[in-house]
Chain A
Amino acid sequence: MAEGILIENVVKTYGSGDTAVHALRGVDMAVAKGEVVGLIGPSGSGKSTLLKCLGAVIEPTSGKMTIGDQCIYDNGWKVRDLRALRRDLIGFIFQAPYLIPFLDVTDNVALLPMLAGKPNAMARKEAHDLLDALDVGHRAAAMPSQLSGGEQQRVAIARALINRPPVILADEPTAPLDGQRALAVVGLLNDMARQFDTAIIIVTHDEKIIPTFKRLYNIRDGRTVEEIPGAPVPEIAA
């Protein structure tokens, strides 16, 4: 199976000395291209920290990370332009949508391709298609402040997908959604993964969607444990 994401022995310590927080103590994880895996764990166990490291938002303390066949980190960044790396390789979905308040829904989604020089009309057409697929096409002309929390979240998902990145990192993406919509979003991410060979990690507390994962990682004490598929879902301390 072709590797989409490979994380080897990644350590992240916030601060140093007495106040040091050992958020990750040596995490291993592998996600194949086209695969969606879940990441669960109690609050404060380091889930968001892991996604931020992989997303090149913060720098790990040590370890090795590979996306596709490109090693991006090996006890130090292997890529000079981290922002370009984020733009080209990674789609982010956060718990809060963080849309740009002065752009309408369409342009929030179409922003990256437009900034990259794609003709506006073409970028907006792609944005519309994605928004339709996410069931918010009818709100395409609205401003973010006029949307419900769930609608905003789906717009943020569309924004993460627009560049068809090889990796999507989703940190509790379904938190503001109701059960039906949450399942729909996970279904859509699964479709994305299959269709575009995307490797996707979804951090979640959501009991309803955990059973949909074929593979599931549980993180505790800063280390990951792979759960046996089909086994009863471990209790999550929220």
Chain B
Amino acid sequence: MISLAGRDILHGWGKFVLTGVGLGLLIGVTLSMAGVYRGMVDDAQALLDNSRADLWVVQKDTLGPYAEPSSLTGDSERPIQAMRGVAEAVGVTYLTMQIAHGDKDVRVMVVGAEMGEPGLPGQPTHLIAGRHIVRGHYEAVADVKTGFAIGDRVKVRRNFYTIVGQTSRMVSSGGDPMLFLSLKDAQAAQFQKDSDAILRQRARVAASPLLNPPGNPAVALAVNAAQSDNSNVNAVLVTITPNAEPDDVAAAIRRWQRLTVYTRAQMEEILVEKLIANSARQIAMFLVILSIVSAAIVAFIIYTMTIGKIREIAVLKLIGTRDRTISWMILQQALGLGLIGFVVGKIAASLWAPFFPKYVLLLPSDSILGFFAVMLICTLASVLAIQAALKVDPAEAIGG
């Protein structure tokens, strides 16, 4: 047998390859879009993995601490720690903010975790450089994506912090790199009021006969002290003992502490199905449009290629070539175009993925799916051209 499609492509391969490359760039964009979505999911999973928690204890009836604000008093972890099945319970704070670095602003998620043995939930996992926080104040560990180097001093709210260690792939569910502070420092950054606010508040207390009853100055002092308490946390991360069941421990905490508790699976659901759901739909919409555009382009190219060969097709029919052979020729060319496009698109997506500001994760399974989608689209796109070819009247091939 002889491959008419192959021979035709070889004859005008320059044009064919260029068209395939153009299509490939489009496919590359499509694969990248899928990669952006996978990156978002992976960021969320990395966030959960890196917290090394089995349970998240948050303010009652909130979806905290990542999807909704949540606030717990600083002593919430102590009774949890004492419960059966709980290995560790530590308070953490999360605060997303802009931090000046040089002449640029970096968006980071400031994480406050109790100091102690590295490996405690909430603490940064393995460092790629430097050391963990050892002093109670003014030290920070930063993810490399912040761009902060070891020894840099960065200002968070009112205070300067020295970067002592670096992590990698420690990001918030939004992809913002993390900056770890000691819990006390992070609480100060999140809850401390500025001096003017404190002065105003003290003045209000002093002026109130209820809070400042005449003849008992100790009441006002106590009220002021209570109001400047900074020991709140956003969540308590809990690890459980090896033979405990997460669901059982979670149920016990819910019952006895009257707090909301999420297991790993529930947290994943909150992040993936609630927090990034809209972005995911946004991307899905893009994927649909890109697929339609690709299909239209392939259909158009294959159609023009076929119309350009209409005379040859008429001659082929005249000398008795079967419709099957002619259709197969056109289909093969469409598939060939798709193949070139897919290879180019895959390479392009891999090359430009690292330059995206957020993590782009190109899953092999997505590529395989993409490959079959491309082939299916090319097959459908060739239908129009095949129809046109089959309609050609062989009598048109010959003059007289």
Contacts and interface: CB of A to CB of B under 8 A. Distances in A.
A51 B320 CA distance: 16
Given A83-B322, A115-B1, A100 B315 contact: yes
Interface in B118-143: none
B210 interface: no
B2 A57 contact: no
Main secondary structure of the interface of B (DSSP, over half): helix
B7 A57 contact: no
Contacts of B395: 52, 57-58
B316 A100 contact: yes
B398 A98 contact: yes
Nearest to B11: A102
Contact of B400 (A48, A98, A110, A111): A48
A10 to B, nearest CB: 16
A234 B11 CA distance: 47
B318 A159 contact: no
A96 interface: yes
Most B C-beta atoms less than 10 A away, residue of A51, A84, A92, A114 = A92
A92 B319 CA distance: 7
Interface string B153-183: 0000000000000000000000000000000
Most B C-beta atoms less than 10 A away, residue of A100, A117, A159 = A100
A149 B389 CA distance: 27
A49 interface: yes
A123 B171 CA distance: 66
Contacts of B320: 83-84, 86-88, 112
Q: Which 3 A-B pairs have the closest CB atoms?
A: A87-B320, A48-B400, A102-B11
Nearest to B322: A83
Contacts, number: 77
Nearest to B8: A102
Interface residues of A, number: 32
Given A86-B319, A100-B312, A100-B316, A57 B398 contact: yes
Interface in A69-104: 83-84, 86-88, 92, 94-96, 98, 100-103
Contacts of B316: 100
A204 to B, nearest CB: 13
A110 B397 CA distance: 20
A57 B398 CA distance: 10
Contacts of B321: 83, 87, 111-112, 115
B242 interface: no
A87 B1 contact: no
Interface string A33-54: 0000000000000011101100
19 contacts: A48-B398, A57-B395, A83-B317, A84-B320, A86-B318, A92-B318, A92-B319, A98-B397, A100-B312, A102-B7, A102-B10, A102-B11, A102-B12, A102-B312, A103-B4, A110-B2, A111-B2, A115-B325, A120-B1
Nearest to B311: A98
Contacts of A83: 317, 320-323, 394
Interface string B295-332: 00000000000000001100111111111010000000
A49 B395 CA distance: 10
Given A83-B321, A88-B320, A115-B1, A96 B7 contact: no
Given A94-B398, A102-B11, A117-B1, 16 more contacts: A49-B400, A58-B395, A83-B320, A83-B321, A83-B323, A84-B320, A86-B319, A86-B320, A98-B315, A100-B316, A101-B11, A102-B10, A103-B4, A111-B319, A112-B319, A120-B1
Interface string A49-65: 10110000110000000
